[in-house]
Structure 1
């Protein structure tokens, strides 16, 4: 390798790992295929090792390649953090992604407290389903995520910051007493989309009873679901905090379902290899203790 190791070498190498090949990486980055191939050859020559097994036109990362990828990600993440900080004129930037429930019931209060304590932090927020939040954290598109229930990747560090209850709701004036779990799945159901924390928790609870759901209406919008239920189009399962006012004012009726326990942790998540910036630490300092005994915030900031 004639020249010095550069950030560009690491960017191209990481892209090959992510895309599974030189051609796909070149297309993703909008560069020539020979330049990507040369970067890989340069790295293999510099470190005196094979970074990919080239079998049947596939490029599988070797053990040495995985070690390099871990370090490359750290370098690229640190560089991106530097670019964000310097690009904002020295103002700390905090990129957040939140599920709808967390974004509606918890994030506004947390950000208001953060603004009072750390006026120099500029916050950027996106609100989406829990699956998308996790993907954003894994891709380092955001610094922290707030989600409900389940986290699927071992690369994610997750710590509970609140407890959430889901309830079954129907149209105003709904009568007929308590339902059983099997009665619930026979009802027309208006539910959140697949991938949302609410939907995953409901499906997991029903699977334990050998049941599944076939909703008549699916939506990413909680407001659309509440309107549909109020109009009598079906029952739904929604966070208790989100529908508390609707139930109290008679727009929705809470329905008890025997044998259905729907409670979950709300989680703050980050990538395991993500360095904790001062802006991230400032928000984490505002998080209340987790609800389970022995849960602490420290692992999120130090893992």
Structure 2
């Protein structure tokens, strides 16, 4: 492995034609240049220069190194510039995985904020539900994962992950606008025992069944889909109602659908997760700051 400082000195010796000229150009003493070249020859395992009178001449090995030294130094310089840009938040790439309702609400606002202040930061967006999405972090397939958890439903979080709480998202019920209970500001879950239901992801379904069991009934589940737009369309068509997080209300697309708070009030916790050691990476920390700011505004 060649030392980059020695390569730079070697490159200067070749360019100027002598140790003394290279020393003047680099601000070194001639003995310092000579020592560096001897060390470089030891690493190379063969002489790089031969003496010709008072001058020097490259050996065959020296000629070979000359053909590569400039490219190596240019690559190192480019690497230093790129690393400096990343460290100073002028560049960087962060992979963020989020569940659908967060991807449609929190993520766009956070990315807009990020693009305005740090346009050189690039974000790759992935979509996934917990707990599978949390597994992307230890495998190196994502840098940040947004995930949710419900009270009483344990989530297995790998111990190497740090949790950054973002917000609490209350649960609501989606009803057709003509539904008799749509006139209320809040709806008791116990008043919905005879309804047909549409349920979403496995964790949301598990929480829903748990809540219904606490109210003493087993819901009639007619449809199951992870697609929020499909849920809205089914509700609008009057074929069922759905328990959905309040984040979904901000992108309701059907005029025939309305959302009402469910009582007793149930909150799901939304957090960002990241490998602890990645908290020190500038671009990752910046994206987390943007997510926190957006979440705080929503909570406010």
**TM-score, normalised on structure 2?**
0.58
What are the equivalent positions in structure 2 for 1:1-303 lying under 5 Å apart? 91-150=91-150, 151-155=155-159, 156-176=161-181, 180-195=188-203, 198-209=204-215, 211-213=217-219, 215-244=221-250, 246=252, 250-255=255-260, 257=262, 259-274=263-278, 276-286=280-290, 287-288=292-293
Whole-Å Cα distance in 2 between the matches of residues 271 and 260 of structure 1? 35
- Kept in 2, the 8 Å contact 1:187–1:235? The answer is yes
Structure number, greater radius of gyration = 2
Secondary structure class of the residue paired with 2:199: strand
Q: Which runs of 5+ in 1 are unaligned?
A: 1-81, 292-303
Q: Mark the CA change 1:199 to 1:245 in structure 2 (over 3 Å): closer, same or farther.
A: same
Give, in angstroms, the shift of residue 211 of structure 1.
4.9
Give, in angstroms, the shift of residue 180 of structure 1.
4.3
**TM-score, normalised on structure 1?**
0.57
Secondary structure class of the residue paired with 2:135: helix
Secondary structure class of the residue paired with 1:162: strand
Whole-Å Cα distance in 2 between the matches of residues 275 and 109 of structure 1? 21
Whole-Å Cα distance in 2 between the matches of residues 166 and 154 of structure 1? 27
- Kept in 1, the 8 Å contact 2:101–2:248? The answer is yes
Q: How many aligned positions are there?
A: 203
Q: Mark the CA change 1:275 to 1:110 in structure 2 (over 3 Å): closer, same or farther.
A: closer
Q: Mark the CA change 1:204 to 1:159 in structure 2 (over 3 Å): closer, same or farther.
A: farther
- Kept in 1, the 8 Å contact 2:92–2:121? The answer is yes
Over aligned residue pairs, what C-alpha RMSD do you find?
3.3
**CA offsets 1:18-77 (integer angstroms, 9 cap, x no match):** xxxxxxxxxxxxxxxxxxxxxxxxxxxxxxxxxxxxxxxxxxxxxxxxxxxxxxxxxxxx
Whole-Å Cα distance in 2 between the matches of residues 279 and 215 of structure 1? 44
Q: Mark the CA change 1:133 to 1:170 in structure 2 (over 3 Å): closer, same or farther.
A: same
Whole-Å Cα distance in 2 between the matches of residues 289 and 106 of structure 1? 7
